[in-house]
């Protein structure tokens, strides 16, 4: 009875917090989508186009493997593994568990809404892949990981600016990317310790 009473009292607080989150999500989406600087119109789409279908991250991994030493090859493999895991978690699991519509067209003042995918908006797979790759690379080669983090951040901002995602979608994608990078670095160490 006591637990039931607490649950009943907590519901309005939960609903109010969720309403505030949704309202903030819509407001921030609209503000970012209304950016009109040359950087927004030229650089964001160019970086996002390079990152489309993970081309940018594959190219970065190839460059690290070709030019760098053993540490950079290890970073490249870790980055690709984390990127793959992040995409699996975001697109294969997250989007299947929670169906969320893309931001409504009235929030987006430009033509980007015609090019949006039909899949669930939550979470952002592009962001998950970008953050997963960058964070995993940073775990083995911090300087290269920091360099990769710059276009990863640009991709995350572009996903909101183009109207493809809400900020909370991008935040969830980033969290999945970080978790994937952590798992890629952590799980092999645990396995090696358990071997005789």
Quick check: 136 and 180 in contact, CB under 8 A?
A: yes
pLDDT reported for residue 7: 56
Domain assignments of the chain as residue spans, ordered by start: 2-194
| Closest to 177 in 3D by CA, of 81, 42, 44 | 81
Predicted confidence (pLDDT) per residue in 82-121, tens digit: 999 999 999 999 999 989 998 888 888 876 666 777 888 8
| Closest to 169 in 3D by CA, of 102, 93, 112 | 102
pLDDT reported for residue 5: 45
What is the C-alpha to C-alpha distance for residues 41 and 52, in angstroms, rounded to an integer?
17
pLDDT under 70: residue ranges of the chain? 1-10, 111-114, 189-196
Per-residue buried b or exposed e for 91-112, using 16+ beta carbons within 10 Å of the residue's own CB: beebbeeeebebbeeebbeeeb
pLDDT reported for residue 181: 96
What is the C-alpha to C-alpha distance for residues 190 and 82, in angstroms, rounded to an integer?
17
What is the C-alpha to C-alpha distance for residues 166 and 159, in angstroms, rounded to an integer?
8
pLDDT reported for residue 90: 96
pLDDT reported for residue 59: 94
What is the C-alpha to C-alpha distance for residues 190 and 169, in angstroms, rounded to an integer?
31
């Amino acid at each position: 009875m006591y637990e039931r009473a607490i649950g009943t009292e907590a519901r309005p607080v939960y609903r109010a917090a969720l309403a505030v989150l949704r309202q903030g999500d819509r407001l921030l989406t609209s503000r970012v989508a209304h950016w009109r600087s040359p950087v927004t119109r030229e650089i964001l789409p160019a970086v996002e186009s390079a990152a489309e279908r993970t081309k940018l991250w594959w190219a970065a991994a190839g460059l690290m493997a070709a030019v760098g030493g053993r540490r950079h090859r290890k970073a490249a493999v870790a980055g690709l593994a984390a990127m793959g895991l992040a995409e699996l978690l975001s697109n294969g699991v997250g989007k299947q568990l929670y169906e969320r519509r893309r931001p409504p067209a009235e929030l987006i003042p430009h033509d980007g809404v015609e090019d949006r995918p039909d899949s669930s908006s939550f979470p952002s797979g592009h962001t998950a892949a970008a953050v997963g790759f960058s964070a995993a690379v940073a775990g083995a080669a911090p300087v290269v990981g920091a360099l990769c983090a710059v276009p990863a951040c640009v991709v995350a901002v572009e996903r909101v600016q183009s109207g493809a995602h809400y900020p909370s979608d991008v935040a969830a994608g980033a969290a999945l990317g970080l978790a994937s990078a952590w798992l890629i670095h952590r799980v092999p160490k645990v396995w090696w310790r358990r071997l005789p």
